[in-house]
Amino acid sequence: MTWLITGGAGYIGAHVVRAMTEAGERTVVYDDLSSGFAERLPEHVPLITGSTLDADRVAAVLTEHGVTGVVHLAARKQVGESVERPLYYYRENLEGLRVVLDAVTRARVPSFVFSSSAAVYGMPDVDLVTEETPCSPMSPYGETKLAGEWLVRATGRATGLSTASLRYFNVAGAARPELADVGVYNLIPMVFEKLTEGAAPRVFGDDYATPDGTCVRDYIHVVDLAEAHVAAARALDAAPGRELTLNVGSGEGVSVREMIDRINTVTGHGIPPVVTARRPGDPARVVASAERIGTELGWQAKHDVQDMITSAWSGWTRLHPEAARTA
Ligand code: WQD
């Protein structure tokens, strides 16, 4: 099997390439390097640079490398930016997906794994989110992921393409410091940034209907997430015509305050957080039921929050050595 990983030079993509390679799968990466780094990839993995909007280039990669499966991760993923730039997000995330799917069906590639997101649920009012929980995305980013799932599903039903849409919950951690996420758009790096400045981490609202008043999320280690892609790829290989939509989460909720407390302990900084206004669009609780992925793929999360924070901190201090000194 040869798997094309679009967006494979990104934070999650590089972990998927690492896991697929270690599982013995041949991989090829297609990435525009707008936010990815070639250095994240093993020497032996071919990297072709290009946009998912370049239909000819995508088609050429599929044929030249004898691609037999695609893991489509290439997308823009900043929720806030998507609100300001919906046309850009729909072009990049939805038209980009359509171009890749069109090339995949023309080349008769049989398997397709799609990177979706818990953002498709919006503000679910349930203790555990299942794949049957109604989807009502709150951002253009989430909308592009839900519409993407519809496009993947419809293409599978029309052509026999075997598909899996993976709904990522809150991804954190790193397999190695040099593979860590360099973006500062999510809780853990945003807290790291404040601690590095010697400033107080911010809690965006503590008046939610949760045990400690702060938002609860389901954190998943990126290494576990990458393994879920290997399991999905193998499931599609084994049985053509599959149609899977799966939550990828731990099933456990952790609150913002708990996470910040854990981060203070791991980093040794210990700066108490300050409570600021709620961030618009934040649901009080989004925690996955991981039952279906367990049943369908035999997958479950293995790494805990401590490992996520510790490994993320190693990545952070590699790029911000001053952070370790002030601890
Ligand atoms: C987590 C919680 C914040 C920073 C988003 C996307 C989702 C996925 C993950 C791509 C929230 C709070 C944060 C801070 C805080 N991305 N917070 N202080 O919003 O759950 O999910 O990223 O797929 O699709 O929607 O993640 O890390 O931004 O926030 O209190 O300095 O931490 O309010 O409750 P989120 P997040």
Neighbours of 85 (CB within 10 A): 16
Write down the domain spans for the chain. Answer: 2-171+219-248, 173-218+252-287+303-325
Residue to probe by mutation, ligand 1, list 207, 255, 282, most atoms within 8 Å of CB = 282
Q: Return d(Cα 10, Cα 35) in angstroms, integer.
A: 6
Task: Extract the residue ranges of the chain whose pLDDT is less than 70.
Answer: 325-327
Cβ 29 vs Cβ 5: under 8 Å: yes
Percent above pLDDT 70 for the chain? 99
Please tell me the distance between residue 187's alpha carbon and the centre of ligand 1 in angstroms: 6
Q: Cβ-count burial of 132 within 10 angstroms (0-12 exposed, 13-18 middle, 19+ buried)?
A: exposed
Q: Ligand 1: distance of its center to the CA of 276 in Å?
A: 15
Q: In the prediction, which pLDDT does 104 show? A: 98
In this structure, what token pair is assigned to residue 276? 């600021």
pLDDT digits (tens, 9 = 90+) for 45-87: 999 999 999 999 999 999 999 999 999 999 999 999 999 999 9
Question: 266-279 burial by CB neighbour count: b if 16+ within 10 A, else e?
Answer: bbebebebebeeee
**In a mutational test of the pocket of ligand 1, which residue from 170, 190, 257 has the highest number of ligand atoms less than 8 Å from its CB?**
170
Ligand 1 centroid, distance to 216 Cα (angstroms): 10
Q: What are phi and psi of 192, to 5 degrees?
A: -55, -45
Residue 252 has which token pair? 């456990």
Determine whether 141 is an active site residue. Answer: yes
- Beta bridge partners of residue 37, listed in sequence order: none
What's the pLDDT tens digit per position in 14-54?
A: 999 999 999 999 999 999 999 999 999 999 999 999 999 99
Q: What is the pLDDT of residue 324?
A: 87
Cβ contacts of 240 within 8 Å, gap of 6 or more = 110, 111, 160, 162
Residue of minimum CA distance from atom 23 in ligand 1 = 117
CATH 3.40.50.720 fits domain 2-171+219-248 = yes
Contact 285, 210 (CB under 8 A): yes
Please enumerate in sequence order all residues whose Cβ is within 8 A of that of 227, keeping only pairs 6 or more positions apart, or say none: 19, 299
Nearest-angstrom CA–CA distance, 268 and 282? 28
Considering the candidates 89, 121, 141, 168, report the single residue annotated as catalytic. 141
What region does 241 belong to: left with phi over 0, alpha with psi -120 to 50, or beta? left
Q: Whose CA is nearest to atom 8 of ligand 1?
A: 170
Residues with CB under 6 A from ligand 1: 77, 79, 117-119, 168, 170, 186-187, 190, 202-204, 215, 217, 256, 279, 282
Centroid of ligand 1 to alpha carbon of 143 (angstroms): 17
Q: Name the residue at shortest CA distance from atom 32 of ligand 1.
A: 187
Report pLDDT for 326.
54
Range 173-218+252-287+303-325 has CATH code 3.90.25.10: yes
CA distance 180 to 317: 10
